[in-house]
Structures are given as C-alpha cells and as structure tokens.
Structure 1
Amino acid sequence: MKKSKILSCSLVLGAAIFFASCSKSEEQVIVSEPLFQVGQSVSTSVPLAGPIKGTLLADQVYTVGGDVYINEGDTLVVQPGAHINFPGDMPYCFVVKGTFLSLGTQEKPIYFTVPSAVKTDQIGADPTKDPALQGLWGGILGETGFKSIIIKWTHIEFGGGKLGTSPVSFIANGKTCYAISTNDPNGLLVLEDSWIYGALDDPIRPFGCKMHIMRNTFEKCGFTGGEAMNIKSGVVGDFAYNLIIGSATNGPKASNNGGKNPQTNINMYNNTIITSGWRRNSAGRGGSLNYEEGSKGLYYNNLMVNCKYGPRVVGATANYNGNALVVADTANIKGGYNYNYVDKADIAGEIYPVGFATKPSAFDIPAPSTFLPAKYVPGQVYDGSSVVGKNNPQFKNFPLPQTTPTLGDIAVVGTFDFHLTATSPAIGKGYTGFAPLGVVPVNAKFGATEITPPSSDIGCFPSNGKGNKH
C-alpha cells in the first residue's frame, strides 16, 4: 500500500515537472558556437615576426615587427575583431606557405592596417600626399606551393609598398609588392565581403591560383597606375559583386602573361565600377574592365559610371596611343548586358573603346542602336555625345550628373550609397544564362561562404539583397 502511494506521488511530481518545463519552452537558452581556433593562441605581448602558427585571438591588437611566415603544413587563423597593426615605415609581409585564414564577421571585421596613417578622403584631395597611395606595408603573399589564403570580412588598408629584400620567390628585391598576391595555380584564394583601401600599384595581383573574389569594396587602388585586381596566367575563377571606386586604371584586368597553366579564365559579372581610370598617366590605358594577352572569360551585368573607358577587349597586336597591348583570346570572350553612364562627350565616345575589339550587345545600356553608326565595326571612331547624362542608374545617394571639377576626384565611398532605387533602369536588365566557374569549395572556413550566381539586376547591389553587403 505504501509503495502504491509513493509511486502515485512520483507520477504526479514528474507530470508537474514536465508541464512546468513545457510552459517555459520559450525561455530556451541559446548557446553560441565557439570561435574557430587552431593550435595555440598567439600572444599579443611580442611583435609578430618569423614563423607563426595557431590563432590570433578575437578583439586583440597585434603589432607586426617583421616578416611573418606560415610554413608548409601550418595554419594561422585570425579571429573576428582582431587588429593587425603595421608600423608604416617597413614593408613587412605575411608569407603563406601553408594555410592563412582571416575569418572576420559582419559584426566584427578584422583589420590589417597602419594605425598612425590618417585617411585623406576629401573629394579632390591631392593624390601625391595621400597615404593610401604610398604603400605603407607589404602584403599577404602566397608563396609557390601555398595551400590557401581565405579572407572574409576583413579590412586590408595601406598595403602594397616597395620591398627591400623580397621574402618571396616571385617578386624581385626592390620591387613594388601587392597587398594580396599568390604564385601557385593549385592554391586557393578567397576574398569575400572585405574592404581594400589603397595601394601603390595593384592591391591584388595573382600569378596563379583558383580564385573567388566576391562582394568586396575597392577604394583608391593604385597611385598613377594599378587595377583593383591584375590577374596573370594560371588563374581561374570569378570576380563578382564588387564595388570599385577611383581605381587608377581598371577595376579587374585579365591577362595570360607569365607562361603558367591553366590559361587565365575569369568571369567578371555584376560589378559596379565608379570613376575609374583617371589617375593612369599613359594614353590608351585606364577604364573599367579589361581582357588582354591571351586571357578569356565572360563579362556580364557590370555597371560603370564615368569611367575613362568602357570594357576593353584587346583584339589586335598593335600599339594603342603609343602603348603596346597584346591580343586577348577573343574567340573565347563573351559579354553583354553591361550598363555605362557618362557625363562627358569624350568618354561617351569610349563606351566601346576606339581601337579595341569590344563587341556591342543589343541588351547593353545605353542601347547601341541609339548612338552607334548603322554599320559600326568594333574599334572605329563614333560620336556618342547623344547619350551624355542619359540613363541615370538612380543610386540611392550619388550625385549624377557629376559636378566636381574632375571626374576622378571621387575615389572613396564615404557617405555615398550605390544601392539601386526601386525605379532604377538597371533593375531586371541583367543576364542569368551562365554559371559561375565556382573553382573553390563552399566551406565557411576553408572556402567560399557562398558562390553568388548572376543576378537579373545589373551591378553589385541587386534588389534581392544577395549581392554586396556593404
């Protein structure tokens, strides 16, 4: 009898606990995923220099005191919110022979910067006095045989200076470094959702890699020359949804120069390129995007505003205004559905650059039929003045027509907003009938977070929110 009573009480108590827990289900505790860490934590008490592996900890400040080496088989991870500070007077580099992972987040980006450098971002500022264009440290360099360089939600600022003694085999002593560079066709280069600010020359120049460059912002790339990204032989991949403003020469440039295999093959799509090409001091150079010297690929859905030239495809071995350029693999280059807004008659006459092989597409904006001659041949001279100031892309906040004295004066995003308004003529005018090359794995830590496909909207800020997140 006593056992029965005890059992009944136990059942009642159990039921009470069960119902009480059910009534508080909305108060579940959410446990955050721990930060990814490899090996030992790296101390902040000693400047970074020499061989290093392990983890640079979240929200900590590290000072670089010499060239840093991630050796073959080793991994260096940088956690969200870390600041890696360079002194600004030495071209120190991160030399990657193994794996380098800079894994910032939208809430906590990582910084590679020079804290003593003051940004000079006023419109029309003198570029000869701009620290962004002086190259105050070296770069993150993937040496021959490197495995991967994965950079996400990271600010790369003031890099790409002149080396003394080069720490890598593929850049000579005394030559200009690049903020990011690689030298192995089998290595992975991922740059996602990050910011590139300034460089003496090209901030990114890969001499071989499998490449995924998506949803980044590029400002002030190159002093009197330099692309946002200058791609050489042995590179295959995608360059998409990037915002590029004020590059010295082009946004992306593809070349097969260098003799490596495979042949350079780059898809450039859904990029927004603003006021680029104006610091390039050589005639016949500068512009928006470029294919030359045996490279191939696709270029669709790019939005260009007041760039010195429209998309350039080199179609003959010849001199263009005194500059020797070598023919691209024109049989394997396709493009169209590109948008070009201009505020001056001289650049309206270069929407399809004179002397180049860029083919008009009926779906380009402005429509080629509205300003090209009836029997237009790629490369011929034409009068494009009728499209000056037409087809405003209707950014949320950017002055069009531009009223500054020189179109190249604007080289930073600042308070501008290049998202499209709901009535923009760029919405719904893109082409989606191709796929990204997708040469890197999809992996939150060791690959691409997402390989974003082409959008039916033109530019890097499609209305579905799937593009650039800056």
Structure 2
Amino acid sequence: MKQLTLKLLLVIGGITLMNIGCKKDDKVDNSIKGITLAKSTATLKVGESTTLTYTIFPENAANKNVTWSTSDETVATVDNKGVVTAVKPGSAVITVTTEDGGEKATCSATVTRSDAVNVSGNVDGTWAKYSVINVTGHIKVPAGKTLTIEEGVEVNVSTGGQDANNTKIEWIVDGSLYIKGTPANPVLISVPAAERTTANTFKRLWGGIIGSTTCPEMLIDNAIIEYTGAITTATSPSVTAGLFKAGGGEGMVAFNTNNPKGKYVIQHTTFRSTGEDAIYVQGGSCIFTNNTFYAVGEAGGEAINVKAGCKVDAAYNLMYSANTNAFKLSNSGSSPTRAEAQINAYNNTIVATGWRRDPNGPKGGSIWAEKGALVNVYNNLVINAMFRAKAPKWQQNATDGPDLNSKIDYNYYAAGPQTSNIPQHIANGTASGYDGFKPGVKDAVYGAHDISGTGPGDKDPMFVSFPFVTNGLLDFTFDTAWDFHLKAGSPALTGAKTDITPYFSSTGVTVNGTTYKSPAASAFFGAFGAN
C-alpha cells in the first residue's frame, strides 16, 4: 500500500512539473534587445544617396518598426526607408531607433563636394549647389542665355596667362547672370586655394565680371569676389569687345556694367583683394546694399565708381580701406544714349579710405563728386578717412562740379589721433584724418547739418569693437571680428536725415522675376545703428 501511494505521488508530481514547464513555454520573451547598422560611417558627395540597412535582435522580435532621424538635415537627410541623401558639405549623424524599447544605432555621415568641373568658353544653365567650378579659360554668358549659380558654389579662376600677351582670364556677360548665395553658404568666386594669400592681395590674378552693352540684368546676392583687377592687354576679351580701352593696359574691375537699360542688384556681398575698383558701373538701374568692401585698389581705385548712364541707390554698405574713395560719382561719358548719372548714397559706413592713393597727389578720400553728376549724399559715417566729402567747383558750375541740384549734407565725420608718415601726406598737410575734416580744405563740402569732430579723437562714434584711435591709417587688413554697430550713447545714433526718397524704394528693380526695393534711410549715421 505504501508503495502504491509513493508511485501515485510521483505521477502527480511529474504531471505538475510538466504543467509548470508548459506554462513557461507559453511566455516566450520576443521583445527587442538591440539593433545594429550594416555600416557606422558613410562618405557621400553632394547629391549622392545611400541606403542604410539594419539588423534587429532577436530575429523573432515581434515589433520590428523603426524610425530614422538626422542630426543636421541641412547636411544630410534620411527618409523612412533609411535612404540618406547628401545636401551640402559637412557632417551629420544618422540614427535609427526601434519603436519597441527605443534601442538605437548610428551612422556618421560625411558629405564632401562633388568632383570639380572645368569650364571655359560659353557658359549657361545652372552651376548646382555646393559644386566646384574650375574656370580654365575666358568665359562668356552668351546673349539671350542665362547662367545661375546656386548657394555654396566655389568658383576657382585659373591665374595663368591665356596667350602670348599673358592675358588673364575675364568673365564677359552678354546675357544674364544670377548669383544666388545665402548668408550661411555664400558663392565664392576666387582663385585656387593655394593662391589665396596675403602676398597676393593686390596681384590682380584675374580680370572680373564684365556686363556688356547687351547684358539685360545681373544679380549678385551673398557672394565673395576676390583677387580681381588684372591689367588688360590688346587681346583681352573686354578690349576686343570695346568695353575697356583699346590696346589694353587698364586695370580691370571686379564688377562692371555697360548697358544703360540694364538692371543690376548687388547685396550682402564682399569685395576684397582687388587691384582696381570693386564696382564700376557705366549704365543701368542699380541697387547696391549691405555689401562689404576692403583691400580695394592697389595704386588707385574706389569701392563704388558710378559713371553716366546709371541711376543708383547705394546704402548700408561698409567700405574699409578703399585706395582712393568709397564713392566716386561722375557724369563722365554722357551722351544721347547715356543719360546723366544719378546717385543716392546714404547710410554707409566709410572707414580709413584715401590713404593708399599713389604719389600723384590726394584725390578725395571718402566721397568724390564731379562732372555734372546728380548726387544725394546723406547719413554717411566717415571715420579716419583722408578727407571729408569733396566736390570740385561745388555749387558753382556743372562743367567741373556736380549738378547744381546735388545735395551733400547730414554726414558724420570723425578721426582718431593716428598720423601718416608718408612724405607726400606730411608735405600736403594731410597727415591725419582730422586734417581732411577741418574747415578750409580744398574742394571739401560742408553741409549745414553735418556733424564733425573738432579735433583728433572728438566725436568718437563708439563702435562696438573697432579700434577707432589705434587702427593704422594705411592698413588694409580687415578683422572679421570687428563690429561696426554703435554702442548705446553713441553721438552717431541720432541726427541723420530720414525724409530721403531713394530712386527704387517704390518701383524697385526687377531681376529674374523678383523685385528688389531700396531700403529707407535711418535716423542714425552709417550702415549699422545700435547693436
């Protein structure tokens, strides 16, 4: 009986253990324990795509849904299938995350520029975002054609001579040119990277952008243009086309126009390291706003030079160390087809201009108006320049001087205690900025509402970070950390003229289907106001 009872207990125990074992099998754990990507790094060129694949653990996981994300969609995007597309040069981290458990895996994506494209001769179409264009010979946008340059493009112009005359490369625009950079990704028009040196600042390594008599419109928005100003030769395209002096020998400019009926807008662009003028216009309706100029001109040269056939609004520009003037405004070259030059130059910040002029004698130093041009010059902040605004025969006759209806007033002048040791400056009594601002200077214009320092250091405009009293007068090196906004309490924050009507504040200038309007004048002097 005892043996039977023991057997029965063993059977019951076995059945119980079997039941327990069956219950455990019914609760199999198939939740996600991890995820990995097939590759942890990826290198792509702009515009390329790659698909990332992943593995989930365990294989029999019940919920295998995932989401994808990128740390910087401006560099690389990713869709819900793991397709990564390169947008612009840079780095981004691509992350895949499981819906169940939030397990993650990452891939570091590096985006590089596309392979460089070599161009010469006729060019049109589109130079796509972030591409590299090597200009190996003279280029031309043909009449009736359009070239669009998108954000982040890098244009490298070869510096070698193109013929037996050692003619440097020029860029002629018979058609339309649209340069469309952004603040974060400007278009760079330069020379090969190894040649972008301080020693080459005024070496005139290539010509410039020349709009011909047939060029209907150009836009330059958020660009950097540098190392221009090559000396022309008898075989320069601009010379053979009759756009520059026959026979050559003239310094090219960074940007030029020749069509009185053309429309031209330049904004948010930097011109630097040019052997001659930065902007030299001989025709067209023009808006030039919010640009920066420095290291302009080797032995002469202006930031903005306006001739007959032009109507121009130029405002909120920063002009530092132009060789001769920030503005040269002249009606020279007028004809029945090239009407009187008309210019509004207002709310510009002009610093340390005029000092590097060649030994032929001082000519201007900030703003120079002459030969029948109709000028309205207001609200400019002129600091440490060689002279205040000048106009020969001011209000006497329009043969030598500007149009008698011109106005130069409401401008602010101040200079620190710095002096020049150039013998010519000492002999002419112009060794300090204040020498060029004080009463009695030849050809200087004294507006009834001007604000002018009465001695070195007086009327300090109180820039946020520019060394007003120590910056070298002949120094052309620009510090990008300088901030030309005005501190609270600056005497330049009030007193400017606001009832100014720019030429294109209402109608605007329409380029490539977009209408650009000139900004209103501000109650402060200069381009920046309070920070």
Instruction: Choose from 388, 391, 407 the match for 1:334.
Output: 407
| 1:19-418 mapped onto 2 (5 Å cutoff) | 46-90=117-161, 91-114=168-191, 115-120=193-198, 130-164=199-233, 165-168=235-238, 169-172=242-245, 173-260=248-335, 261-281=338-358, 282-315=360-393, 327-344=400-417, 346-351=432-437, 354-356=441-443, 358-361=445-448, 363-366=449-452, 386-402=454-470, 406-418=472-484
SS at structure 2 position matched to 1:349: helix
Q: Which moved more, 1:291-300 or 1:168-177?
A: 168-177
CA distance in 2, matches of 1:61, 1:216: 24
Cα displacement (A) at 1:360 = 2.5
Structure 1 unaligned segments of length 5 or more: list them.
Answer: 1-29, 36-42, 121-129, 319-324, 368-385, 466-470
Helix, strand or coil at the partner of 1:162:
coil
**Are the equivalent residues in 1 in contact too, given 2:364–2:390 (CA < 8 A)?**
no
Contact 1:270 1:303 in 2 (8 A): yes
Tell me the distance in 2 between the aligned counterparts of 1:341 and 1:247: 17
Q: Contact 1:310–1:340 at 8 Å: present in 2 too? A: yes
Check conservation: 2:170, 2:206, Cα contact below 8 A: yes
Range with bigger deviation, 293-302 or 157-166:
157-166
Aligned to 1:373: none
Residues 245, 413 of structure 1: 8 Å contact kept:
no
Task: Spell out, residue by residue over 1:292-327, the C-alpha distance to the aligned partner (whole angstroms, 9 max, x if none).
Answer: 121111011100111000111121799xxxxxx962
Unaligned runs of 5+ in 2: 1-72, 78-86, 88-113, 162-167, 418-430
CA distance in 1, matches of 2:126, 2:175: 14
Code of the aligned partner of 2:355 = W
Question: Is 2:253–2:274's contact at 8 Å kept on the other side of the alignment?
Answer: yes
User: By how many angstroms is 1:365 displaced?
Assistant: 1.5
CA distance in 1: counterparts of 2:518 and 2:328, whole angstroms: 21
Question: For the structure 1 residues 360 and 316, does the alpha-carbon distance in structure 2 shift closer, same or farther, using more than 3 Å as the test?
Answer: closer
8 Å CA contact 1:219, 1:413 repeated in 2 = no
- Give secondary structure in 1 for the equivalent of 2:474: helix
- 1:54-73 CA distance string (max 9 Å, x none): 10000011000111111111
- 2:265·2:287 contact (CA, 8 Å) conserved in 1? yes
What secondary structure, in the 3-state scheme, does the structure 2 residue paired with 1:285 have?
coil
Pair 1:337–1:254, CA change in 2 (3 A)? same
Residues 44, 163 of structure 1: alpha-carbon distance in 2 compared, 3 angstrom cutoff:
farther
For the Cα contact (< 8 Å) 1:280–1:286, is it kept in 2?
A: no
CA-CA distance at 1:450 after TM superposition: 4.3
SS at match of 2:450: coil
- In 1, the alpha carbon distance for the partners of 2:142 and 2:265 equals 19
- SS of 1:237's equivalent in the other structure is strand
TM-score normalised to structure 2 length: 0.69
Q: How far, CA to CA, are the matches of 2:503 and 2:206 in structure 1?
A: 33
Cα deviations across residues 315-367 of structure 1 (Å, max 9, x unaligned)? Answer: 1799xxxxxx9622241211222111112484323226622151332x32127
Kept in 2: contact 1:166–1:174 (CA 8 A): no
1:224-263 Cα offsets, whole Å, 9 max, x none, are 1111112111111111111011111000110111124210
Counterpart in the other structure of 2:30:
none
Deviations 1:392-411 (A, max 9, x none): 10001011312x5x412244
Q: Quick check: 1:101–1:446 contact (8 Å CA) kept in 2? A: no
With 94-103 and 308-317 compared, the bigger mean Cα shift is at 308-317
Higher strand share: 2
Structure 2 residue 487 is matched with structure 1 residue 421: yes
Structure with greater contact order relative to length (CA < 8 Å, sep ≥ 6): 1
Whether the 8 Å contact between 2:410 and 2:447 is mirrored in structure 1 is no
CA contact (8 A) 1:212 1:448 kept: no
User: Is the contact made by 1:296 and 1:328 (CA closer than 8 Å) also made in structure 2?
Assistant: no
Q: 2: distance between equivalents of 1:100 and 1:313?
A: 35
- Percent identity between matched residues is 30
Q: Equivalent residue of 2:322, what SS?
A: coil
Matches of 2:308 and 2:333, distance apart in 1: 5
1:135 aligned counterpart, secondary structure: coil
Distance in 1, Cα, partners of 2:134 & 2:433? 45
Match of 2:34 in 1: none
Q: Which amino acid aligns with 1:387?
A: G
CA spacing shift, 1:186–1:442, aligned 2, 3 Å: closer
* 8 Å CA contact 2:263, 2:286 repeated in 1: yes
SS of 2:464's partner is strand
**Aligned match for 1:452, one of 519, 522, 530:** 519
C-alpha deviation, 1:45, in angstroms: 5.5
Distance 1:97 1:353, change over 3 A: farther
**Structure 1 length-normalised TM:** 0.77
Check the 8 A contact 2:391/2:402 in 1, yes or no. Answer: no
Q: 1:326 to 1:317 in 2, by over 3 A?
A: farther
**Is the contact made by 1:311 and 1:353 (CA closer than 8 Å) also made in structure 2?**
no
Q: Deviations over 1:405-435 (max 9, x none)?
A: x412244243211111122111122111111
